[in-house]
């Protein structure tokens, strides 16, 4: 017997390695289809989105089997009960949230206007580009929104050009609950205009622009209100979408705020409060 093992040790080693690999692969595949909830009160819904009815909430540590995946939403079945439904994967897997908040299930796309060779408006002193401040403001807003557990996606996270017609694609493909585009305005002559404005185009974006208009009244610059405008990034899209003009680059008064991190943080905080109200209004609608 010992001689047989000695003579066949190479074959046995290969066979053993193969069986070990198969076991690892099988275990990996099984784990890919399993999920254990981490926060408390994870909503279980009848479909892949916050507008579907919530049937129950799951305690932290609930074991689930993943049946299907759809744009970040996972159809699952409870291991302890004969019950299935949909959960937001980024919520169920969240290691920072202790308890799910109303905003946690939302998917929000942020679009920092311009980028790369498309510099946008020039500041009144001729030294600064709009593209840098839209990106900075969007990043601060992303951080504020993510503190609620929401899934926040950026059209661009660096100084690159994103073709206008491509911008709505992320919100469409991820079935976002909202898309917010960040811009800073410019007037025909220096210091001839001041303030912030909000724009929308499609009717389903009206509730979103209205709630943002309400909360952007708290900024140190005058709120010029909202109106419809056929900008490509908010026109050719089926998801609720708005475009914000958050001050004039060629206004000495406005630019004194635009370049301050404290102003960007104020914008982010106001948008966060507005989005909490907006998402709460469309949940289970």
Looking at residue 123, the DSSP 8-state letter turns out to be P
Yes or no: domain 34-92 corresponds to CATH 2.30.30.40: yes
pTM of the model: 0.86
User: In this predicted structure, what is the pLDDT of residue 27?
Assistant: 38
Stretches where the chain sits below pLDDT 70 are 1-32, 284-285
The pLDDT assigned to 170 comes to 97
Helices (H), 147-231: 167-173, 206-215
CA distances from 4 to 7, 13, 18 (A): 5, 13, 20
Instruction: Break the chain into its structural domains and give their ranges.
Output: 2-32, 34-92, 107-282
Hey, CA dihedral for 120, 124, 126, 127, is it positive or negative?
Answer: negative
Model pLDDT, residue 13 = 56
Q: Give whole-number Cα distances, 81 to 64, 84, 188, in Å.
A: 10, 9, 65
Helix locations, the chain, DSSP H: 2-7, 9-32, 89-92, 130-146, 167-173, 206-215, 232-235, 252-258, 261-282
Query: Topology of domain 107-282, per CATH?
Result: Aminopeptidase (3.40.630)
């Amino acid at each position: 017997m010992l001689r047989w093992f000695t003579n066949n040790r190479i074959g046995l080693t290969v066979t053993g390695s193969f069986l070990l690999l198969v076991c690892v692969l099988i275990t990996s595949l099984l784990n890919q289809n399993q999920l254990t909830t981490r926060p408390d009160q994870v909503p279980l819904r009848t479909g892949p989105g916050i507008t579907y009815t919530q049937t129950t909430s799951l305690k932290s540590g609930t074991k689930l089997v993943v049946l299907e995946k759809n744009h970040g939403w996972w159809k699952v079945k409870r291991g302890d009960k004969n019950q299935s439904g949909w959960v937001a994967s980024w919520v169920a897997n969240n290691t920072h949230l202790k308890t799910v908040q109303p905003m946690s299930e939302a998917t929000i796309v942020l679009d920092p206007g311009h980028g790369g060779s498309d510099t946008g408006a020039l500041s009144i002193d001729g030294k600064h580009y709009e593209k840098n401040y839209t990106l900075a403001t969007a990043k601060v807003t992303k951080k504020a929104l993510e503190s609620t557990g929401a899934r926040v996606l950026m059209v661009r996270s660096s100084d690159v050009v994103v073709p206008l017609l491509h911008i709505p694609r992320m919100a469409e493909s991820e079935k976002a609950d909202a898309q917010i585009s960040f811009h800073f305005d410019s007037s025909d002559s220096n210091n001839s205009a001041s303030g912030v404005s909000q724009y929308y185009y499609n009717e389903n974006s009206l509730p979103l622009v209205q709630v943002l208009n309400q909360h952007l009244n708290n900024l140190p610059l005058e709120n010029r209100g909202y109106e419809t405008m056929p900008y490509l990034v908010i026109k050719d899209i089926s998801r609720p979408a708005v475009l914000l003009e958050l001050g004039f680059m060629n206004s000495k008064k406005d630019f004194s705020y635009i370049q301050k991190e404290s102003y960007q943080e104020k914008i982010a905080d106001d948008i966060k409060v507005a989005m909490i109200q907006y998402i709460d209004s469309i949940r289970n609608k």
